[in-house]
Amino acid sequence: MASEGLTSTAYIKHHLTNLTFGQHADGSWGLARNAEEIKEMGFWALQLDSLGWSTFLALFFLYFFRKAATQATIGVPGGLQNFVEWIVEFVDDSVRGSFSAKNDLVAPMALTIFCWVFLMNLMDLVPVDWLPMIAQQIGHHVFGMDPHHVYFKVVATTDPNITFGMAFAVFFLMIYYSIKIKGLGGFLGELAFQPFGKWGMPVNLVLEGVSLIAKPISLSLRLFGNMYAGETIFILIAMMYGAGWGMGIFGGILQLGWAIFHILIITLQAFIFMTLTIVYMEMAHQEHH
């Protein structure tokens, strides 16, 4: 296991640390060997594992759906076509139920968000030691690195950089369409004159400003918090395998139960992120008079 030679605290920290590339304090560029070096690298450091897995899963989603589209037939559909059509209909029903305006971007965006977030969340069901252990061996034998300095987080949605990135993309689209549909004056008017009219402008600006800023923050932190907590529980359960046969068997039962329950969590979090995106886009298209 990856926990060999590590204390329990170090094992947990190791699994919750990103493989980070950036500029060291001495000016050189390279991989961070500990949390202190990650902190020194600052804002422009790159979490290679989060970026790699999120990109790979996005490409997998595109390949999977493109393959279904190219193989689609008006005759008896195959299993792949049935599965993809079921997902598309599910997302389409969600969009129709929450979005009343006309915008051809919303449904494809909702489909992409749901599938992409679900796939990133789904990586949480891979046993926590498997992929990090492979990464350690590659880092040690190929690049000559100390295995304990090879970090590898698999679940991209446990990285706030990923969840905030998606949330801010939705936020900027919401601002863009608010101004496009209502005009700059209409958008600013909503911030200044709602809900208490022109005489309550200072209070309106505070309330609406806080509400506006809270949207991307809550959208990102909800997903990050739930997935981070779920991953931490898997790591804690994995530690039981090093405490003897009895605890190992008990840990296996706990892991199976938590994994089954976690299937609901990962699906629900993807659905919530998609639904809130649709709702925010609907709000951006609403004109208040």
**Mutual orientation of helices 48-70 and 106-122 as an angle, nearest 10°?**
120
Contact 120, 61 (CB under 8 A): no
Active site residue 226: yes
Give the per-residue SS3 of 79-103: HHHHHHHHHHHHHHHHHHHHCCCCC
**Prior bond of 195 cis (ω within 30°):** yes
Distance separating alpha carbons of residues 88 and 161, to the nearest angstrom: 28
Residue 181, H or E segment: helix 160-193
- 19-51 in b/e form (b: 16+ CB < 10 A) is bbbbeeeeeeeebbbeeebbeebeeebebbbbb
Among 18, 50, 204, 226, the active-site one is: 226
Active site residue 218: yes
Structure tokens at 139: 């880092």
Active site residue 96: no
CA–CA–CA angle 167, 168, 169 (5° rounding):
90
**Which residues are catalytic, by number?**
218, 222, 226
